[in-house]
Structure 1
């Protein structure tokens, strides 16, 4: 058993092989929907998430990044933005333990999760940061953002929306993180814009792009992992 499995009680690796399932195109179902369903049924991370009781396969992305960078510490305070359905929050709750605190926020409804304070709100609503800070009860050790704006099919527009979410999450992280804290956010290949990346490099000791193994190869998503926040205590 690896150190990570001992620490969490669960592993970030897959436990076995799956047999490929072929999905027939049903009447009234679009071809794209059939492809999505077939991908889900044949995705080993989907099967493993179900087996281990995680709410989504995304849980493995966070586990893999934490196994590598070690930012989820026992007793830590964690903010999870774009949390629904709750896979990342589940991992955070397990890894920080009962002495820690997780605040999970999403614009969509999310089922209650033991060990986490769940909020339903639009993060871009001016009132949302205050709700998070009130629920957190102190500065954050880690701010996670798996937020993604709905795509329009127009790449320049979609990029601007993604960057707006990233900038808002970074602004929030700068207001709540402890010195030495960590900020992790979803971006897409092509990376974050130079101004935002330069800002992160100024405000954090290390800034890396990461594509965890659980992120589908065909997906353009990446995560920016910024550690060693240089700010002052909020």
Structure 2
């Protein structure tokens, strides 16, 4: 693990303490309490600043970077689909690591970012905004772009808008997780990889068992960039077995 992630582990509490000593920013005045909490949390978060420094659109980039550093799921020449890509930080990471932007010598990958929302283009990636990855129309568009080829890695950092009711939020994110799995089964190469986010709950174990029906190995990963108060975790499924056609 590189020095950045080690330093984050060692200094997270120190960084937070220093942030607590800072004067409350003026732009909190008049905002709702929930908004004040969010803004203060952003100020205390080292990954927020790091994302700005490295030109990532969101701090979540570091979750995928760490997953890749630990498990080597992305490399030059691979074809990747990022489901629920907006605002695009995972697509940025995938583009860099697969060399989809052709900025390095060697194999050149392909990266496709899909989201129901519009989002700004990313150099080297094909961005499909205003498109639902589960729809037949979107999949038809993808297959045309892929020219019938399958993909190496399917990513999903999707999450529903949180209601604050844990069981409902868990249920809703599991619906998205199963949508990502169903999509991955249709579009992945044999030996392909799926990374999908969930919020932990009573349906997580069953989801893991379902993944094992289609993938040779499944790991549960909680990157350092995940906030302490979050129940977020990622299922990393590797070695897609393929679908029986008979």
TM-score normalised over the length of structure 1 = 0.87
CA deviations on 1:168-223 (whole Å, 9 max, x unpaired) are 11011011111111000001122644443222112111101100001111111100
Which of 219, 222, 239 is the matching residue for 1:208?
Answer: 219
For the pair shown, the structure with the greater C-alpha radius of gyration is 2
Q: 2:175 aligns with which of 153, 164, 175?
A: 164
Which of 113, 130, 134 does residue 140 from structure 2 map onto?
Answer: 130
1:117 aligns with 2:129: no
Q: Which runs of 5+ in 2 are unaligned?
A: 103-107
Alignment partners' CA distance in 1, 2:200 and 2:142 = 29
Per the alignment, residue 38 of structure 2 pairs with 36
2:115 corresponds in structure 1 to 106
Conserved in 1, the CA contact under 8 Å of 2:61 and 2:90?
Answer: yes
Quickly say closer, same or farther: Cα 1:22–1:88, change in 2 above 3 A.
Answer: farther
In the other structure, the counterpart of 1:45 is: 47
Partner secondary structure for residue 90 of structure 1: helix
C-alpha RMSD of matched pairs (Å)? 2.6
Rounded Cα–Cα distance in structure 1 between residues aligned with 2:55 and 2:119: 16
**Contact 2:64-2:93 within 8 A present in 1 as well:** yes
How many Å separate the matches in 2 of 1:72 and 1:14?
24
2:239 alignment partner, one of 208, 228, 234: 228
The correspondence for 1:96, drawn from 98, 106, 109, is 98
Q: Distance in 2 between matches of 1:60 and 1:12?
A: 9
Structure (1 or 2) with the greater helix fraction: 2
C-alpha contact 1:23 1:37 (8 A) present in aligned 2? no
Cα deviations across residues 126-156 of structure 1 (Å, max 9, x unaligned)?
4333333333442110000011112233333
**CA distance, structure 2, for counterparts of residue 141 and residue 115 of structure 1:** 17
Map Cα deviations across residues 90-136 of structure 1 (whole Å, 9 max, x no partner).
11111111310000011222111011000112334443333333334
Alpha-carbon distance change, 13 to 90 in structure 1, aligned in 2, over 3 angstroms: farther
Aligned residues: 227
Question: Which of the numbers 43, 59, 62 marks the counterpart of 1:60?
Answer: 62
Give the distance between the partners of 1:67 and 1:133, measured in 2 at CA: 30
Q: Does 2:185 correspond to 1:177? A: no
What is the CA-CA distance between 1:46 and the residue it aligns to? Answer: 0.6
Larger displacement relative to structure 2 (211-220 or 17-26): 17-26
Deviations 1:22-46 (A, max 9, x none): 4257442011111111111121111
Question: Tell me, what secondary structure is at the counterpart of 1:127?
Answer: helix
Runs (5+) with no aligned partner, structure 1 = 6-10
Alpha-carbon distance, 1:55 to partner: 1.0
